[in-house]
Structure 1
Amino acid sequence: MAFQFKAPAPAAKYKTPVAYFSMEFALDQALKSYSGGLGFLAGSHMRSAYELKQNLIGIGILWTYGYYDQVRDADQTMKPAFIEKNYSFLQDTGIVFPIIIHDAEVHVKALYLAPETFGTAPMFFLTTDIEENDFISRTISHHLYDPDTAARVAQSMLLGIGGGKLLDVLGRQTDIYHLNEGHGLPLAFYLYEKHGRNLEEVQKRLVFTTHTPELAGNEEHPMALLQKMSFFCGVPEQEVRQAARVEGDSLNYTLTALRFAKKANGVSKVHGRVANEMWGHYEGICPIISITNAQNGTYWRDPQLAAAAKGKDDTALLARKKELKKELFKTVADQTGTLLDPEVLTIVWARRFAAYKRADLILRDFEKFERLVTNDERPVQVIWAGKPYPKDFGAIDIFNNIIKTTKDLKRCAVLVGYELGLSAELKKGSDLWLNTPRYPREASGTSGMTAAMNACVSVSIADGWIPEFAKDGENCFIIEHADEKLPENEKDTIEANTLYNVLEKAVALYYDKPEQFTKIRKAAMKDVEPTFESGRMAKEYYEQLYK
């Protein structure tokens, strides 16, 4: 029987049919379709869309090898491994259709993830890894964020053009097309061609979320390469230049999306301001508002912790927190052979691994760090985890250097395999959540939200979402950032020293005034919801971006 898509009946206020395009979605530990924060955010959005009965479907790519599997080399250092994934829970729709890449037909197959499987909006995943294609075409959907430039361009075309065409093949009316980051930009040209090359018709339908507050992170490629690869869906280069107001030899994905969309958003108030500073002086861009990222409480919060936090007696909360620490420490022992103590203050640094996030800031003055983790009167344990991009050799070096630097310290551990399951364990089993990006380069940084839901207190630079949440010393601990005009090396030194001072205060509270520390935990749990729960975010997208 031919596949027929029938979406669940939407709630009256969410009837507008929306399609949400993202290169990655973190929906469940079993589905390896994400690398880090962008996917975690998209996954929470899909869960809240389901809970609110929104008329929204998600469109992504089925990555044959996922992002990568993070494993250890013989000397315990990190190395990437690529293992083929197979998923019994994805339904083969039988839908196969061609798109044009590099003037040749590439066949695309659509697989369906039903809402009830993981409690998400209906999802479609596209793949080119099918028998109808030659080997090169099959590899387009092999690796999330393929390092080869032509492959990356082809992946954008698969998401944008393939996703746009799938909606037409399904016969699904779509009023709003939402690009989550610029990867799916070819969708804009697909719609431009579909609507008679009328830019205003595209602008009525397209909205855009930007996540990247640094110019270098916003994808850009030579016009000649994009034209050669059929990126523009048959629209002549001169017309592309005119519609997208291209000056020079390259096309910037973010700037072009801002010119083809009716409205865009940054992902925190700080980022909304930064995005307007970055792009606001360009002609023809749409308004950029801010809709702060959020995470799904149903998925992330520990129900027993949440229930205990509502009681007046803190005994149940602390007992449950201790249980969760023990669970995390089993994973630590299994991976590293290090035994940690659930009575000891535990700090975690864990997120997508990139140099600007400064996982090693706490190690900058190693003598101070060593004193912190070897003090037997007020002991401190530190755990790191995170996945660098597999070709980001600078970030991989930092990761491996942390392993080598801390290997003889009995209260330190570095974990591999930072995915949804481990991420949840780390947030539930830690006391302090360390966030040390270079300001203002963290657009949102949502990991601290899910930590706070689980009685873990942020120790953070005031970047991304943190300024909207923070009451220093009441629901978190703020690391003041140094003067932005200073050289990076000086800033790192100043902020590392500030970090040690902040940690000294937090450690003293944990051991000398445990009731006060528990009060801060509970304030973090209370203040993070509902403002930073993704139900609020999903509502705001309908109210502020889709209408």
Structure 2
Amino acid sequence: MKAIRTYTVQARLPEELQPLLDIAMNLGWLSDPRVQSLFSRLDAHTNAGETLDPVGALYRAPQEALEHLAGDPSYVAHATELRDSLERSLATPRWFQLSHVGDLDSVAYFSAEFGIAKALPQYSGGLGILAGDHLKAANELGLPLVGIGILYRHGYFTQRLDAEGWQREYFPNLQPENMSLREVEGLRVSIEIGESIVHARAWEARVGRVPLYLLDTNIEENEPVDRLITDRLYGGDKEQRIRQELVLGVGGVRLLTELGYAPQVFHMNEGHASFSALERIRVAMSEQGFTFDEGLESIRPSTLFTTHTPVPAGIDRFGRELIERYFGRWCETMGITVDRLMDLGHEPGAPRGVEMNMAVMGLRVSESSNGVAKLHGEVSRNMFSSLWPDLPVEEVPIGSVTNGVNARTWVMREMDDLLERYVGSDWPQAAPERWLPLQNVTDEQIQSIRAAGRRRLVKFARRRIWTSMRSAGISESEAEWANEILDPDILTIGFARRFATYKRANLLLRNERRLRDLMRDPDRPVQFIFAGKAHPADEPGKRILQEVATFAHDARNRARFVYLEDYDIEVGRYLYQGVDVWLNNPIQPLE
């Protein structure tokens, strides 16, 4: 569906409030309770503290509200002091500086998506959330990390359900000038893509002390078709995907060089970034006089690959025609055949030279590889064992690093206060023995925090559904029931993930009568909140979503069974803080 074009009337920021903008431009500070408290003064007009989009809040705030705050000396002084304190913290030695011995100066982290905040909608799901929290964790630990990604002008899609509960996709036209981004002035990166030379500029986001650079081909120097390369996240066909991955991989390596980085480690977060290895091989051949095989061996020790998907169907594959179109000239320059290049992504047992598997390529060019959970490591060793035919499956060199989250992004303020009181202000990094005082926390304290989270979630769900209905043209009287759904005092179960068939979001609906009995039980009632999107091309997933949404909209169910549209980081935070039990019932080992 065609993108929505929006126009924003910006308020003029008084000079006294410049510290607010300075704070808002660093995404690593958004979860700081002091920052949230500071921006909560704008909540009456913008919901700044709830959405964690301070830059947007400043642009949306009425001029009179900004002038009022600018005229408050204590508020201005507080904002200035907080800004200065946060900036000083960027130079404070952290875990890496205090404990690391060695010469590691720079790690480059490539990912097709980064889920850092709602303020920067450049993510679709778990891969992006992990990447975003990876940057936040690197900031907190003081790791010398630099992120490389793409700026998608239309991001991922905004989800709306029609009257029949069918998912419709809309792609808003994002304005990077109104986001927590700064263009890297005077910089252009050129990439050979097919017969064209495509140019890209870079936008910089800051995640604490960690820089994230996003490549953008939507510039006047490019032909119209090339300006659309970075149009949408996971949009278009395979040809669009290979063009995007050339920008990410080849363009990303060249960008690092232009910026003066010389990373000692290149971390590829999934196969989308595997082309970065080819650019590094080209550089090694050009600068060191290596052969192709020598260039490959020279980059392998500094290359790390993380695989995420447990199903072969989830891996990018490019056919020979596309590889010849986009790498034929490259192969000639490197003195190799297209078959030799495709061997890097060849799956044993498949016909040679027909298809290039990007995950297989990532594994072949990397010294170290990992899955994202212990079980996923086992699944990956089985799935890719044919790459090491002489090794027993259990010795296949794919380890596992369990997915983690940046704790302060997700926990509610009341829980953060409790953990600071009993563990310390550095509780996310505290050693296990420091957590022992939590044994003194009473059940009443925990129940009080859980109840606060449920109340906040119920309030949010009611407001979101009411707003969605009103936006769809439903009258206030007809939408009034949305203000009465859910009960903040009963057991709440949440389901929030992509609507893929193997995740079985509709499993609960196999016995609707029994489910209604559970929800209406007079002594032990239960309620459910569902959220999630189906991939735009996943028709079976959309049908499952429609089934869940239809059940949720049924007047017999809607008080205890809710579906929240347009799942994003904001929805995820409310769900995490408010649900009592997470529901997850995929088909193993597909997740």
Q: How far apart in 1 are the matches of 2:273 and 2:209?
A: 21
Distance 1:380 1:241, change over 3 A: closer
Matches within 5 A, 1:335-346: 335-336=464-465, 337=482, 338-346=484-492
The code of the aligned residue for 1:369 comes to L
Q: How far apart in 2 are the matches of 1:320 and 1:36?
A: 27
| Correspondence 1:30 to 2:119 | yes
Q: Is the 8 A contact 1:189 1:232 kept in 2?
A: no
The code of the aligned residue for 1:418 comes to Y
Q: How far apart in 2 are the matches of 1:190 and 1:291?
A: 27
Q: How far apart in 2 are the matches of 1:187 and 1:142?
A: 20
| Correspondence 1:400 to 2:546 | yes
Give the secondary structure class of the aligned counterpart of 2:184: strand
Give the secondary structure class of the aligned counterpart of 2:229: helix
Give the secondary structure class of the aligned counterpart of 1:384: strand
Q: How far apart in 1 are the matches of 2:116 and 2:505?
A: 26
Matches within 5 A, 1:405-484: 405-407=551-553, 408=555, 409=557, 410-442=559-591
Give the secondary structure class of the aligned counterpart of 2:583: strand
Give the secondary structure class of the aligned counterpart of 2:188: strand
Q: How far apart in 2 are the matches of 1:273 and 1:232?
A: 39
Aligned counterpart in structure 1 of residue 387 of structure 2, from 265, 271, 282 = 282
Q: How far apart in 1 are the matches of 2:261 and 2:280?
A: 15
- Which residue in 2 is equivalent to 1:524? none
Deviates more, 1:136-145 or 1:233-242: 233-242
- Which residue in 1 is equivalent to 2:404? 294
| Correspondence 1:48 to 2:137 | yes
Structure 1 position 102, deviation (Å) = 1.1
Deviates more, 1:222-231 or 1:407-416: 222-231
Q: How far apart in 1 are the matches of 2:330 and 2:227?
A: 20
Q: How far apart in 1 are the matches of 2:301 and 2:534?
A: 38
Deviations 1:480-520 (A, max 9, x none): xxxxxxxxxxxxxxxxxxxxxxxxxxxxxxxxxxxxxxxxx
- Which residue in 2 is equivalent to 1:305? 415
Give the secondary structure class of the aligned counterpart of 1:394: helix
Q: Is the 8 A contact 1:308 1:317 kept in 2?
A: no
- Which residue in 2 is equivalent to 1:91? 182
Give the secondary structure class of the aligned counterpart of 1:437: coil
Q: Is the 8 A contact 1:80 1:390 kept in 2?
A: yes
Matches within 5 A, 1:68-147: 68-75=157-164, 77-87=166-176, 88=178, 89-94=180-185, 95-115=187-207, 119=208, 121-147=210-236
Q: Is the 8 A contact 2:346 2:355 kept in 1?
A: no
Deviations 1:229-257 (A, max 9, x none): 23884444144145556724111111111
Q: How far apart in 2 are the matches of 1:397 and 1:231?
A: 41
Q: Is the 8 A contact 2:115 2:121 kept in 1?
A: yes
Q: How far apart in 2 are the matches of 1:411 and 1:238?
A: 58
Structure 1 position 306, deviation (Å) = 4.5
- Which residue in 1 is equivalent to 2:5? none
Q: Answer with 1 or 2: which has the greater Rg.
A: 2
Distance 1:245 1:349, change over 3 A: closer
Structure 1 position 319, deviation (Å) = 2.1
Structure 1 position 353, deviation (Å) = 2.4
- Which residue in 2 is equivalent to 1:541? none
Higher relative contact order (CA 8 A, sep 6+): 1
The code of the aligned residue for 1:426 comes to L
- Which residue in 2 is equivalent to 1:204? 301
Aligned counterpart in structure 2 of residue 150 of structure 1, from 239, 243, 262 = 239
| Correspondence 1:332 to 2:461 | yes
| Correspondence 1:264 to 2:356 | no
Q: Is the 8 A contact 1:157 1:231 kept in 2?
A: no
Q: Is the 8 A contact 1:50 1:121 kept in 2?
A: yes
Q: Is the 8 A contact 1:232 1:240 kept in 2?
A: no
- Which residue in 2 is equivalent to 1:356? 502
Q: Is the 8 A contact 2:344 2:361 kept in 1?
A: no
Structure 1 position 393, deviation (Å) = 1.7
Structure 1 position 97, deviation (Å) = 1.9
Matches within 5 A, 1:309-324: 310=438, 311-324=440-453
Q: How far apart in 1 are the matches of 2:516 and 2:162?
A: 26
- Which residue in 2 is equivalent to 1:516? none
- Which residue in 1 is equivalent to 2:520? 374
Structure 1 position 213, deviation (Å) = 1.1
Q: Percent identity?
A: 33
Distance 1:342 1:231, change over 3 A: farther
Aligned counterpart in structure 2 of residue 167 of structure 1, from 256, 267, 277 = 256
5+ long unaligned stretches in structure 2: 1-89, 286-291, 420-437, 466-481
Aligned counterpart in structure 2 of residue 240 of structure 1, from 336, 341, 344 = 341
The code of the aligned residue for 1:169 comes to E
Deviates more, 1:35-44 or 1:233-242: 233-242
Q: How far apart in 2 are the matches of 1:96 and 1:103?
A: 19
Deviations 1:31-56 (A, max 9, x none): 00000000111111100100111011
The code of the aligned residue for 2:192 comes to I
Distance 1:424 1:242, change over 3 A: closer
Give 1 or 2: higher helix fraction: 2
Give the secondary structure class of the aligned counterpart of 1:112: strand
Structure 1 position 307, deviation (Å) = 4.3
Give the secondary structure class of the aligned counterpart of 1:383: strand
Give the secondary structure class of the aligned counterpart of 2:310: coil
Distance 1:170 1:131, change over 3 A: same
Structure 1 position 398, deviation (Å) = 0.8
Structure 1 position 381, deviation (Å) = 0.8
Q: Is the 8 A contact 2:344 2:360 kept in 1?
A: no
Q: Is the 8 A contact 2:159 2:533 kept in 1?
A: yes
Q: How far apart in 2 are the matches of 1:170 and 1:428?
A: 40
TM-score normalised by L of structure 2:
0.70
Q: How far apart in 2 are the matches of 1:35 and 1:17?
A: 27
Coordinate RMSD, CA, aligned: 2.2
Structure 1 position 362, deviation (Å) = 1.4
Aligned residues: 433
| Correspondence 1:61 to 2:153 | no
Deviations 1:336-370 (A, max 9, x none): 31521111111111122222111111112222212
Aligned counterpart in structure 2 of residue 224 of structure 1, from 294, 314, 321 = 321
The code of the aligned residue for 1:227 comes to E
Q: How far apart in 2 are the matches of 1:398 and 1:261?
A: 38
Deviations 1:386-407 (A, max 9, x none): 1211221211111111111232
Q: Is the 8 A contact 1:21 1:59 kept in 2?
A: yes
The code of the aligned residue for 2:205 comes to L
- Which residue in 2 is equivalent to 1:495? none
Q: How far apart in 2 are the matches of 1:342 and 1:231?
A: 61
Structure 1 position 120, deviation (Å) = 6.1
Q: Is the 8 A contact 1:244 1:260 kept in 2?
A: no
